[in-house]
Chains A and B, each alone.
Chain A
Amino acid sequence: MSKRHVSAIVNGDAVEFLTDPGMTLLDALRDELELTGSKEGCGSGDCGACSVVVDGRLVCSCLMLAAEAEGRRIETIEGMAQASDLHPLQRKFLEHAALQCGFCTPGILVASKALLDANPDPTETEVRYWLAGNLCRCTGYDKIIRAVMDAAAEMRQARVVA
Chain B
Amino acid sequence: MTDTLERPDVKPDLKVVGTRPIRPDGAEKVTGRAQFGADFNMPGQLVGKVLRSPHAHARIVSIDAKKARALPGVKAVVTGADFPNLADEFHEGGEAASNLRDLAMNVMARDKALYDGHAVAAVAATSTAIADEALALIKVTYEVLPHVIEVEAAMAPDAPVLHAHMYTEGLEERPTLPSNIARRNRIARGDLDAGFAAAEVVVQDRYVTQAVHQGYIEPHACVASWAADGQCNVWSSSQGQFMVRTYCAKVLGLEMSNIRVTPAEIGGGFGGKTTVYLEPLALALSRQSGHPVKMVMNREEVFRATGPTSGAVMYVKLGAKKDGTIVAADVELKYQAGAFAGSPVGAGSMTALACYDIPNFAITGWDVVSNCPKVAAYRAPGAPIAAFAVESAVDELARKLDMDPIALREKNGVKNGVKASYGPTFNAIGYLETLAAIKTCPQYAMPLGPNQGRGVAVGFWFNVGGESTAAVNIGEDGSAVVVTGNPDIGGSRASMAIMAAEVLGVPVEQVRPMVADTASIGFSMLTGGSRTTFATGMAVVQAAEKVVAQLKRRAAVIWDVAPDQVEWANGAAVCRDPAKSTGKTLTLEGLAAQSARTGGPISAQVSLNAQGAGPGFGVHVCDVEIDPETGHVTVLRYTAAQDVGRAIHPSYVEGQVQGGVAQGVGWALNEEYIFDRDGKMENAGFLDYRVPVASDLPMIDAILVEVPNPRHPFGAKGVGEVPIVPPLAAVANAVRAAIGVRMTTLPLSPPKIRAALDAKAG
Direct contact of A and B (CB under 8 A): yes
A binding-site residues for B, Cβ under 8 Å: 20, 22, 30, 35-44, 46-47, 49, 76-78, 80-81, 86, 90, 93-97, 99-106, 109, 124-125, 127-129, 131-146
B interface, size bucket: 35 or more
CB nearest to A98 among chain B residues: B655
Structural contact, A103 and B33, CB atoms closer than 8 A: no
B680-699 CB contact bits vs A (8 Å, 1 = yes)? 00000111000111111101
With contacts A102-B267, A137-B215, A145-B694 taken as known, whether A96 is within 8 angstroms of B29 at the C-beta atoms is: no
With contacts A43-B298, A86-B30, A132-B693 taken as known, whether A100 is within 8 angstroms of B491 at the C-beta atoms is: yes
Structural contact, B31 and A139, CB atoms closer than 8 A: no
Structural contact, A141 and B489, CB atoms closer than 8 A: no
Chain A's nearest CB lies how many Å from the CB of B40? Answer: 9
- The answer to whether B54 has its CB under 8 Å from any CB of chain A is no
What are 21 contact pairs spanning A and B, CB under 8 A?
Answer: A39-B218, A41-B299, A44-B686, A46-B687, A77-B31, A86-B27, A94-B27, A97-B23, A97-B655, A99-B30, A101-B265, A101-B266, A102-B29, A103-B36, A105-B29, A106-B30, A106-B32, A131-B693, A135-B686, A137-B270, A140-B655
Contacts beyond the supplied A100-B659, A104-B267, A139-B658: 5 A-B pairs with Cβ under 8 Å: A22-B129, A39-B217, A102-B29, A137-B216, A141-B697
With contacts A137-B691, A140-B661 taken as known, whether A105 is within 8 angstroms of B298 at the C-beta atoms is: no
Structural contact, A49 and B33, CB atoms closer than 8 A: no
Structural contact, B217 and A136, CB atoms closer than 8 A: yes
Pairs A-B, 10 closest by C-beta atoms = A37-B32, A103-B267, A140-B662, A102-B29, A140-B658, A97-B651, A46-B686, A77-B32, A100-B490, A90-B30
With contacts A90-B30, A109-B30, A142-B700 taken as known, whether A36 is within 8 angstroms of B651 at the C-beta atoms is: no
Contacts of B298 in A (CB 8 A): 43
CB nearest to A91 among chain B residues: B30
Chain A's nearest CB lies how many Å from the CB of B98? Answer: 24
Structural contact, B267 and A94, CB atoms closer than 8 A: no
CB nearest to A76 among chain B residues: B32
Contacts of A22 in B (CB 8 A): 129
CB nearest to B127 among chain A residues: A20
Chain B's nearest CB lies how many Å from the CB of A42? Answer: 4
A128 to B270, CA, bound (A): 24
Contacts of A97 in B (CB 8 A): 20, 23, 491, 649, 651-652, 654-655
Structural contact, B693 and A135, CB atoms closer than 8 A: yes
- The answer to whether B39 has its CB under 8 Å from any CB of chain A is yes
A141 to B635, CA, bound (A): 14
- The answer to whether B5 has its CB under 8 Å from any CB of chain A is no
Contacts of A36 in B (CB 8 A): 32, 35, 38-39
With contacts A41-B217, A97-B651 taken as known, whether A140 is within 8 angstroms of B659 at the C-beta atoms is: yes
B302-336 CB contact bits vs A (8 Å, 1 = yes)? 00000000000000000000000000000000000
Chain B's nearest CB lies how many Å from the CB of A47? Answer: 5
Structural contact, A142 and B658, CB atoms closer than 8 A: yes
A4 to B330, CA, bound (A): 68
A145 to B693, CA, bound (A): 12
A35 to B32, CA, bound (A): 8
Q: Quick one: which of A80, A90, A132 contacts B694, CB cutoff 8 A?
A: A132
B270-295 CB contact bits vs A (8 Å, 1 = yes)? 10000000000000000000000000
A156 to B662, CA, bound (A): 31
